[in-house]
Structure 1
Amino acid sequence: MKLTQKRTQNILLILGVVVLALVPLWIVEKPAAGVDGEEVEIFGGSDDKAKNLIGEIRPDYRPWFEPIIEPASGEIASMLFALQAALGAGFIGYYVGTGVTREKMRREREKAAAGRQD
C-alpha cells in the first residue's frame, strides 16, 4: 500500500515539474515589434544587448574575432546555454556526491576498526 502511494506521489511530482516547465513557454505571446520598431526576441540574451549598446556608443568598433558557429536563433542559443549549465551542475553534483560517499565509507571503516579493537 505504501509503495503504490509513494510511486503515485513521485509521478505527480514529476508531472508537476514538467507542467511548470512547459506552461510558460506555451502561454507566452511574442510581441510584433518593440518600442523602437525592431522585432523583439523574447529569449534574447544580454550579449546582443551589449553588442547593440557598444555599436551606439562607438559605431567604428570592430570585434576582435567572430564566433565559429552562430546559433540559428536566440531560442537555440538559450537551449545551448541551459544544456551547458545542466552538464556543469551534473558534474558538480557527481563530484560532491562521490566525496560525501567516500567520507561516509571512511567513517564506517574507522568505526568498524575501532569496534574490532575493543
Structure 2
Amino acid sequence: MSARTNSMLLGVAALIIAAPLVLNPAGQFGGTDDAASEVVTSSHPAYEKWTGPLWQPSKEIEGLLFAAQAAFGAGLLGYVIGRRHGRSGK
C-alpha cells in the first residue's frame, strides 16, 4: 500500500473513533457492568448480590491497572503479529 492510502485509512479510522464523541458530547458512556446491574435491578428488585470485591482500589489505581492491562494486551498483540510477519519472510 502507498503512504497516501495508509494516511487515508488512518484518517478514516480516527473519524470513526471520534464520531460518537463529536455527535453526542454530553453522552454517558458507561460500561457493560453498570448496564447489566441496572437490568438485573429493574427485572428483579429483590435480588441480592452473593459476592463482593476482595479489594476496592481508588479511582487512580483502578485507572492505572486498566491502562497497564491495555498496554500488556497491545504489547502481546504486537509481538504475535510481529512474529507472524517475520515468519512469513516479508
TM-score, normalising length: structure 1: 0.39
